[in-house]
Structure formats: C-alpha cells, structure tokens
Structure 1
Amino acid sequence: MPDASGEPVAIVLTVIGGFCSALLFGGMVMFAGVFARIAFAHLPRATAASFMRAAFSSYYIIMAVLAGAAALALAWPLPLDAAALAAVLVGFVLARQWLMPAAHRLEEEREAGLPGAAERFGTIHGRSVLLNFVQILAVTIVLGRLLIEGAA
C-alpha cells in the first residue's frame, strides 16, 4: 500500500473498493457458473437462449458499474488494483458493445442455417468465455491482495 494506507479516508476507500470487488466477483461467478447452467439445464434450449440473451445486457451493465466503482474507490490507496479493475470494466464494455451483438447476430444466422455461422458463433462465444475467465481471474487477484493486506 502507498503511504496513504493508514489514513482514515484510504481505509474507507479500501473497504468500499473491497466490497464492490466482492459483489463483482460473486455476481460474475453466480451468473457464469450457476445462473447460465441452470437456465440451460431446466428450460427448453430456445427459451434458455432467449432468456440469457436478455439477461446478458443487464449483466454487463451491472458488472461494469461494480468494476468502475471498485476501481474508483481503490484508485488512491491501491492504484495497481484499481488499474486491474479498470481493465475489467473495459472488458465488460467491449463485451456488451462488440461481442454480445456479434454473438446475437451469429446465433440468428446459425438458427437460420447459414453456412459457417455455427463455427463463427463458436469463435465469438469462445472469446466471450475467455474474456470472462480473465476478468474473474483479475478480480480474484485483487480480492486476494485485499485480504492479504487486511490480514497483515
């Protein structure tokens, strides 16, 4: 931690940043690891796909807000962690503005039976999964660092 670590404002900002990071981590793991799996396991495929398509827009916005709030709170006391969370925020914006529309378009093309659409959808979906994994890893590292600093 920088010299600001003992100052009351830095402590409050670190707690806020940690709380937002924990909410971010929990939301990401719950959505990707539980919510999506349950939807596809218990709903007809078309219904689950439609439901998830609608849910992703809100997911990206909520997670981006949490990542941004955590990054802002940690910018002074823990700038490296704030930079990591800002990168997570950028990932959510890119996913919502670029990956999600491309995936929706390719999913429609795949359902229409257009040649090569399934492969292109698989590529975009794979990029989305990889991005989400990297984001979860970054948030996990930030949370780990916060917990280690708090225990020290």
Structure 2
Amino acid sequence: MGAAAAAATAAALAVAFAGCAPVAERSIAVAPDQVAAIEFFEYPSTDVPDTVDRLTVRDPALITEWMRAFTDMPLRAYTPDEPDEFDGAQTQSSRLILTDGREIEITTIWIGPHDNVVLWPDATVWRTEWGSPRVVEAYADVAQIDQVSADELPVVVLPG
C-alpha cells in the first residue's frame, strides 16, 4: 500500500472511530464516605413485575467499590437508534442514600454489549460502554436482598 493510500485509510478509520470515542467523562459528585447505603434494583424496562428484588449495600468498603462505577465514566452522546430499543431491556437502578438523608438515583438500561444508556440524576441521558450485568448475583453473599413492591423503584423517564 502506498503512502497516500495508507494516509487515506488512516483518515477514514479516524473518522469512523471518532463516532465511537467518548465525548466526556463524568462522575457523581458524591464521595463514598457521604453514602450511608446503596439500594440497587434489576428489572426489565417494560412489563415490570409487581415485586422486585432490592439489594442493599451498607458496608463502607463495598460502597467505595460500587462508587467507582460512577467515577470518570466514559460517555458519548445519546441518540436513540430505534424507538423500541428499550423494550424488555435489562434496567439497573442505584439509589444512593446519603448520610445527610438525601437520595440520588442513577439508572442504566442495557441495549447491547458495551452499549448502555445512562440516565443521570440531572435528567441528562448518555451512552457508555461501562457496566456489569447480573450485579445482584455478584453481591448476593455480601448484601441484604429483600423483595419489595415495584413502587419502590426509582422513577425512570425513558428518552425518546
């Protein structure tokens, strides 16, 4: 391949990958020591059952670990690909219960591998590659799990 062809290929790849690159990094403006507990819910985005599992984390070391997920999260602009992309998608909501009594909620909707929609507490919506499915399974032995009414779920307003 000649130098001109290589340069053209590199330029084309740069343009193609630019659309995939994070446009921002974002963190929740709360330190782990300001969090008394985290309530976490996993549920389908549509046809939510009447009761759901609520996982509650109170251990300070686990809270610190959990908060890393909301620190310097790489984000890119959100634009809906299809109007029904949320139908049945796994939804994960975290409710941070702060030591001063306030609550902060953040929700992630799984669209596909490395493609998650994040609804931030300020009502902005972004996409990220970050996240982990089956969080309840991972923390089941070290956190409290209760079955609660779906009325306990954080309020989520789906974009689009």
TM-score, normalising length from structure 2? 0.27
- When normalised by structure 1's length, the TM-score is 0.27
